[in-house]
Each structure stands twice: as C-alpha cells, then as structure tokens.
Amino acid sequence: MTEVVAPQPTELLRRGPGRPRHADTEPRAYRAALELFGRRGWSGLTLDAVASHAGIGKSSIYLRWSDKSQLLLDALRDLQERVPLPQTDGLGIRDQLVAHARARAELLLGEYGPAMASLCTAAAANPEDLRQLREVDLSRGVCGLTTQVEEAVASGELPAGTAARPLLEAIEGAILVHILVAPTQTAAEMRADLDRYVCDLVDAQLRALRP
C-alpha cells in the first residue's frame, strides 16, 4: 500500500498562480483614480478602469471600495494629507489669504489640477453624489478661512460687517478662472507670475471692503 504523506504547513500556505499582491495597492489606486477623473470626468471613472490603470486586480479594488465615490473621496483625502496647508500662525489676515491663495493656485497648476477642475464641474452636475467630495476640497482651499476672516472682523483688522463667504469665494473663484477656466498665460508663465498675481488679487479684494 502506498503511504499517503500529509502536506507540510509550508505547502498549505503556498499561493497558486495569479496576480501578486502589492503592498502599495491603496496609493496606486488613489493615483489612478485622480488621473482618470481628471481625464475622463465623473462619468468616465469606474472601479474597473482604476484597477486596469493602476495594474491592480479588480478583487483588490472591490474589497476596499464599494463604489467610485468612496474611492475618489479617499483619494482626495490622501492627496490633501500629502499637500500640507501653509503655516500662517501669527500672520495677519492679508498674509493668511495670500498664503492660502498661493497654495491653492499651486495645487491647480500641478499634477492633479485636471482632477480639481473635474471636481468643480462634476459637483455642479451631481451635487448629491459629490457633496462630500466638494466639502473636503473646499475645506482646504481659500474658502476654509471663514473663521480667520470672522476673527479679523471681530478684532477690527477688517471692516465691521465684512461677510466672510463672499470675500473668500471671490478669491477662490478668481483663481479657478485664472488657471482653469480662461487662462491667458501658459502654465509656466502663470507659475513665474504667481506671487504677483495672488498678492494683487487679495489686495484688490481687501481694498474693495473699505469705504
């Protein structure tokens, strides 16, 4: 009788053929999601497309995210963790606005500028699907400085009655138009002129507040 030899523990743990697992699945998925969103917009973003673009097995994607909205939300949060906010402790409101306006402009001029542009248009067309995404995005932009503006009004640094939201939206909106909607310069020219542009933009808005 032939003796049956039980498999050893190492044999039980041996993986069969197939796509290898990657320790960097999430970073690769985030990058792919933002790149595809920037190129194709909301309707062209799918979990299958992210898996293919990132070179990741579809099962790895579907095990982590139930839909593209959740993946894109995680990708945006990850991006913002990797793009630190400017340090503005101790600065006056004018310099805080300039620092955040410049950071916003640099983000839009960078690798993920197209994804930010897609977010603006997609959020308008799909307000419920992308509400969380838009809130996360705006909380890190110029529009996230509501508290700072209100404190500057309370301290007298800004005129009494200054409304924070219109001021911040005017600055944020101008940056979006300047860089994404109707640029009049090349990306290289805008980068070279960025300091002057954001200072002039903020100063013009602050002058308009005063009698």
Same domain, 44 and 74: yes
Same domain, 75 and 101: no
In a domain, 27, yes or no: yes
Same domain, 75 and 92: no
CA angle 72, 79, 27 (to 5 degrees): 75
How far is it, in rounded angstroms, from Cα 85 to Cα 141? 9
pLDDT in tens, the chain (211 residues): 444 444 444 333 333 344 444 568 899 999 999 999 999 998 899 999 999 999 999 999 999 999 998 999 899 889 888 887 888 889 999 999 999 999 999 989 998 888 888 887 787 777 777 777 777 765 667 888 999 999 999 999 999 999 999 999 999 999 989 998 888 889 999 999 999 999 999 999 999 998 7
Range of the domain at 76: 20-80
> What pTM value is reported for the model?
0.77
Same domain, 67 and 150: no
Q: Read out DSSP for 33-88?
A: HHHHHHHHTTTT--HHHHHHHHT--HHHHHHH-SSHHHHHHHHHHHHHHHSPPP--
How far is it, in rounded angstroms, from Cα 118 to Cα 101? 19
